[in-house]
Amino acid sequence: MATSTSEGPLIQPRPTRVAAAETPRAALASPVVIAAVIIAGLYFGREILIPIAIALLLSFVLGPLVQFLRRLRLPRLLAVGLTVLMTMGVLAALATLIGVQVADLADDVPRYQRTIERKIEGLRESPVGRLTGYVANIGRAIHTAGTAEQTEKAEKTGPAPKAEPEPKPVVVETRQPPPGPLEMAEKVLAPVMQPLATTGIVVVVLLFVLMQREDLRDRMIRLAGSSDLHRTTVAMDDAARRLSRYFVAQLALNTGFGLVIGVGLYLIGVPNPVLWGIFAALMRFVPYIGAFLCALLPMALAAAVDPGWNMLIATALLFVVLEPLAGQVFEPMLYGHSTGLSPLAVLVSALVWTWLWGPIGLLLSTPLTVCLVVLGRHVDKLEFLDVLFGSSPALTPVENFYQRILAEDPEEAQEHADLILQQCSLSAYYDSVVVKGLELAARDAARGVLTVEQRSAIRESVTELIDELAGHPDAEPEAPLAERGDDDEARPGTVPFAPKPPTVPEIWAREGAVLCVAGRGFLDEAAAAILAQLLAKRGLGTRVVPFCDLARAHIDAFDPGPARMTCIVSLAIRGEPTHLRRLARRLEQRMPRVPILVGLWQVDDVAAAAAAVPAGQHVSTLRAATEAVMAAVRQDATPVAAGRRAELAGADAGA
């Protein structure tokens, strides 16, 4: 689901981890061995694990009902017992109904034989059938010609010698004694023993899970980590509520879908509509192929019942209309746009669980994988499950940006920027993504893991991205008209409209009115170019000055031009930034009347940085820098400031 714009355009980034250069073989083998043991346990223990999994999933569905009965002041034992008894009654009624419907369908199948034969005969007489017959005749002719050729060769070689007549076999009949009562009972009960045993395990486990719900929650909290009980408790309660809400909503939606399908098939005239409605409700739990399977059998029956094709077409249209309506309209309304799983994860989980547990694994694949993803989202040690199967991006926007420029792929970085800029302004994107990504690059450069070629490629990629974003306005995205109120203002929670740019005095609009001076870091010049671009979008004249142009040997030859303000920009300083302090001193000596603003991006302690680099103002974000410069522009535009500026100009002219 989309993140609210009031919370910022980005997902909270995880701490950036840098892998070691070499990983011991034992560290690689250990997860493989653990995964193999888990998979083997799931496969060989499926007779026990399947009913336990069904019971756990049913506990999420029945948990709200138990809580409702508890709020009616019923004892827990009575509330759990009533819930389980009602569930068993509903399931028994459904099983009985399905059995009656299947028996009725089996009795009616011989009546449909003549209709099927007539339709097959009609297909044979159709153009497609005749073409198929022609192809079959040609094949038979080719086969006959080959057989005749073999017969001629056999006749030329002469008759084969007569073989000895084989003796006739003697028929031996074995008579079994009539089965006893125990053997009859075994034959009758054998097919139902396995389902009864599975049902018994499900009921017993379900009773204990519902009775010990709080105890199981506490144990999960202990497994997740008890160092921060408040955070862990909130996370577990939220996960349990979300899973219960999702499963209940999915059960309600699939039940309603089966009910509508049953009514629709009844109106169309398809036999046994109750059976197909229940079948459709069950098959909607199966991802991707469930909708196809639940439509296949009713369509085949409609083709067998109706002498024409109207019933088949009506049945197909019923599923074609209702399935997208349920999947694209009602599912987002009930439990969001997705299950929290990526499409590939849904497909892979369906294949894996089907391989492990058979058809029941296919039915349980999505709910089980959802549970695993929720655990991975709230348990640090299982975070890899959320990364592998979750629908959220594997990399944060900052990591994605740095990875793209590191791979020398500014085009994809541009595409990613376009997506983020639909939710935030350009300055917010620069602050939240680009500057933090440049800081990652600066850290890697400080660690010595970037080659000279990689540094050059990163600079070129960042410069290309900045140039591509030059035409993008620095304004918040406008809220859709549907989200605006009657007073033509955005509703709470939506993005406000961008204010009109202020009127800039002519002296501030000259080229070079604001000098954006880069530090000596290999990406400081790119950071200065970003600030210059944002100020230029507000009507200011800017100029980017490299660090080398203001070195001690070149400072006297530097022409400040019509500079009204100087902004020193640096990324991720560490320790005492002596070079910035000396740079600020040289600029102050060269331009004593021009105020200096120092922008130290991604600095946590601004006060310490201000003490290290003396200047008029200190900021740590691009937004704060642009606001400080615009405040100076507004102050310079006042009548008092204008008169003072005229006096200074006259004094300079007299001198």
Q: Are residues 517 and 602 in the same domain?
A: yes
Q: Within 10 Å of residue 61's Cβ, how many Cβ atoms?
A: 18
Dihedrals phi, psi of 74, to nearest 5 degrees: -85, 145
The per-residue pLDDT for 265 is 92
549 alpha carbon, distance to own chain's centre: 48
Fill in the amino acid letter for 374: V
Q: Are residues 650 and 572 in the same domain?
A: yes
What gap in Å lies between CA 280 and CA 264, rounded to an integer?
12
Dihedrals phi, psi of 289, to nearest 5 degrees: -90, -10
Q: Are residues 446 and 589 in the same domain?
A: no
Q: Are residues 470 and 615 in the same domain?
A: no
Fill in the amino acid letter for 74: L
Q: Are residues 439 and 510 in the same domain?
A: no
Q: Are residues 552 and 648 in the same domain?
A: yes
Q: Are residues 470 and 516 in the same domain?
A: no
Task: Give a yes or no: residue 357 inside a domain.
Answer: no
Residue ranges in the chain modelled with pLDDT below 70? 1-29, 115-116, 119-192, 224-228, 335-339, 478-502, 572-576, 602-612, 614, 637-655
Greatest pairwise CA separation for the chain in angstroms? 139
Task: Give a yes or no: residue 255 inside a domain.
Answer: no
Task: Give a yes or no: residue 239 inside a domain.
Answer: no
525, two tokens? 């010049």
The per-residue pLDDT for 16 is 45
- Domain final residue, candidates 479, 511, 536: 479
The per-residue pLDDT for 258 is 92
The per-residue pLDDT for 622 is 87
Q: Spell out the long-range contacts of 41-48 with Cβ–Cβ below 8 A and sequence spacing 24 or more.
A: 42/356, 42/357, 43/356, 46/356, 46/357, 46/358, 47/198, 48/201
Task: Give a yes or no: residue 620 inside a domain.
Answer: yes
The per-residue pLDDT for 20 is 45
CB 517 within 8 A of CB 550: yes
CB 602 within 8 A of CB 572: yes
Per the document, the length of the chain is 655
258, two tokens? 């089966």
DSSP state of 569: E
Q: Within 10 Å of residue 99's Cβ, how many Cβ atoms?
A: 11
Q: Are residues 466 and 511 in the same domain?
A: no
Question: What does the pLDDT look like over 485-504, one tens digit per residue?
Answer: 444 443 333 333 344 455 77
- What angle separates helix 25-44 from helix 343-357, to the nearest 10 degrees? 60
What gap in Å lies between CA 489 and CA 483, rounded to an integer?
9
553 alpha carbon, distance to own chain's centre: 55
Q: Are residues 464 and 587 in the same domain?
A: no
Dihedrals phi, psi of 161, to nearest 5 degrees: -65, 145
- Domain final residue, candidates 161, 177, 211: 211
The per-residue pLDDT for 640 is 47
- Domain final residue, candidates 179, 211, 243: 211
Q: What CATH code is carried by the domain that includes residue 605?
A: 3.40.50.280
Task: Give a yes or no: residue 39 inside a domain.
Answer: yes
CB 594 within 8 A of CB 563: yes
The per-residue pLDDT for 263 is 93
Name the residue with tokens 């508890």.
70
The per-residue pLDDT for 86 is 92
Task: Give a yes or no: residue 228 inside a domain.
Answer: no
Task: Give a yes or no: residue 458 inside a domain.
Answer: yes
Fill in the amino acid letter for 306: D
Number of domains composing the chain: 3
The per-residue pLDDT for 4 is 40
CB 299 within 8 A of CB 264: no
- What angle separates helix 213-224 from helix 46-71, to the nearest 10 degrees? 120
What gap in Å lies between CA 32 and CA 488, rounded to an integer?
59
311, two tokens? 């019933």
Q: Are residues 542 and 616 in the same domain?
A: yes
Q: Are residues 568 and 654 in the same domain?
A: yes
What gap in Å lies between CA 571 and CA 435, rounded to an integer?
8
Q: Where are the alpha helices (DSSP H) in 212-228?
A: 213-224
Report in angstroms the alpha-carbon separations of 224 from 56, 232, 308, 491: 19, 7, 62, 39
Residue 619's H or E segment, with its range, is: strand 617-619
Task: Give a yes or no: residue 312 inside a domain.
Answer: no
Name the residue with tokens 């530090």.
519
- What angle separates helix 410-420 from helix 452-468, to the nearest 10 degrees? 40
DSSP letters, 339-369, are -SB-HHHHHHHHHHHHHHHTHHHHHHHHHHH
User: Domain residues for 91?
Assistant: 31-126+193-211
Q: Are residues 470 and 530 in the same domain?
A: no
